[in-house]
Amino acid sequence: MDKVRFIYNPYSGENTIITDIDKIIMVHQKYGYEVVPYRVSFEFDMSKAFEGLDETYKYILVAGGDGTVDTAVNYMKTLEIDLPIAILPTGTANDFAKFIGIPEDIESACEQILNSKPKKLDIGKINDKYFINVASTGLFTDVSQKTDVNLKNTMGKLAYYVKGIEQLPNFRKLKIKVKSENSYFDGNMYLMMVFNGQTAGNLNFAYKAEADDGLLDIIIIKAGPIKDMIALFIKMLRGDHLEDAAGLIYFKTDRLEVECHEDIVTDIDGERGPDFPLVIECIKEGIEVLGANIKK
């Protein structure tokens, strides 16, 4: 019988995966698959989840949010595991799963995955780490890192907003240098986001992003008067087009270099990223994904 390695965190998101495990096994058994689970927790990290894989395993099924999927992808790349990956969106943030059209309903998601063929999709790489959705730096980018895990699990996205409000007194200009083949910025900014996906916190910022074009979508919010920034953020929250927005730079590239000497960190889908300087690139067709149903 073909096997599926199922990686899940019982504490992810609102703990809904616990009640969905029977559905996951039921649907896979219907299609002739044996589900081999690995439970990620404080006692058992994900590094052991990839032991014992052989030719009988057909894909890796990951239940969690963007950060959990990032961790799985990084281990797979490090260990040179060449299997398709499938995602069940059970985390606090499931931006990438939504971007590639995975249903929130777990049974429907399993059916879609099992009735699909692998698609090669892009992933991002920032220094020596991979990411699936967004890498960022600047104001608010370490909110997730500073938010208590228990608070995340009990309050969900509200926990991020609470922690974000706490950072408002730190609102300041940040000097940064960004260069790519087709763009250059050397000045003050508030926030920079590098998208492989389209959304962050369900907000559709990188609306031009595509899953397989070999390009990353870069958004830089330049430092300026607070009143102008408020108008810009309202524009972004409404989902308006940003090409000609004052105070904002939006471009696509397959590679960029970033220098910064400010006391700020980088963030990869809610987890701490590498230190500066950065080389960020798009790895075209870097992963095979099952269940993707991307509308263009």
Q: Are residues 172 and 272 in the same domain?
A: yes
Residues 229/172, Cβ–Cβ less than 8 Å: no
Q: Are residues 266 and 227 in the same domain?
A: yes
The pLDDT of residue 154: 47
Q: Which amino acid is at 219?
A: I
Domain count, the chain: 2
Residue 296 belongs to some domain of the structure: no
Q: What is the pLDDT along the chain (296 residues), one digit of tens a residue?
A: 899 999 998 887 777 899 999 999 999 999 999 999 999 988 889 999 999 999 999 999 999 999 999 999 999 999 999 999 999 999 888 999 999 999 999 999 999 999 999 999 999 999 999 999 999 998 766 555 554 555 444 444 444 444 444 555 556 789 999 999 999 999 999 889 999 999 987 888 898 999 999 999 999 989 887 777 777 777 776 767 666 677 889 999 999 999 999 988 999 998 899 999 999 999 999 999 999 999 76
Q: Are residues 228 and 160 in the same domain?
A: yes
Q: Are residues 240 and 172 in the same domain?
A: yes
142: left (phi over 0), alpha (psi -120 to 50) or beta: alpha
Q: Are residues 57 and 106 in the same domain?
A: yes
Tokens 């095979």, located at residue: 288
Q: Are residues 139 and 259 in the same domain?
A: yes
Give the helix/strand (H/E) hosting 33: strand 33-39
The residue among 73, 93, 116 that closes a domain is 116
The residue among 116, 143, 160 that closes a domain is 116
The tokens describing 77, both together, are 């790349």
Residue 242 belongs to some domain of the structure: yes
Q: Are residues 50 and 91 in the same domain?
A: yes
- This prediction's pTM: 0.89
Residue 121 belongs to some domain of the structure: no
Q: Are residues 84 and 144 in the same domain?
A: no
> Which ranges of the chain does DSSP label H, i.e. alpha helix?
17-30, 66-78, 95-99, 106-114, 143-146, 149-155, 157-166, 226-237
The pLDDT of residue 229: 72
Neighbours of 145 (CB within 10 A): 13
For 28, 74, 293, the CA distances from 141, given in Å and listed in that order, are: 38, 21, 29
Q: Are residues 135 and 275 in the same domain?
A: yes
The pLDDT of residue 163: 47
The residue among 59, 91, 116 that closes a domain is 116
Domain enclosing residue 255, as ranges = 129-285
The pLDDT of residue 112: 98
For residue 252, give the CATH number of its domain: 2.60.200.40
Q: Are residues 57 and 28 in the same domain?
A: yes
The pLDDT of residue 216: 98
The pLDDT of residue 257: 98
Residue 124 belongs to some domain of the structure: no
Residue 251 belongs to some domain of the structure: yes
Residue 291 belongs to some domain of the structure: no
Q: Are residues 93 and 141 in the same domain?
A: no
For residue 83, give the CATH number of its domain: 3.40.50.10330
Residue 109 belongs to some domain of the structure: yes
Say what the alpha-carbon torsion angle 112, 113, 118, 122 is, to the nearest 10 degrees: 90
Q: How far is CA 186 from the centre of its chain?
A: 27
Residue 195 belongs to some domain of the structure: yes
The pLDDT of residue 143: 53
Q: Are residues 43 and 177 in the same domain?
A: no
Neighbours of 5 (CB within 10 A): 22
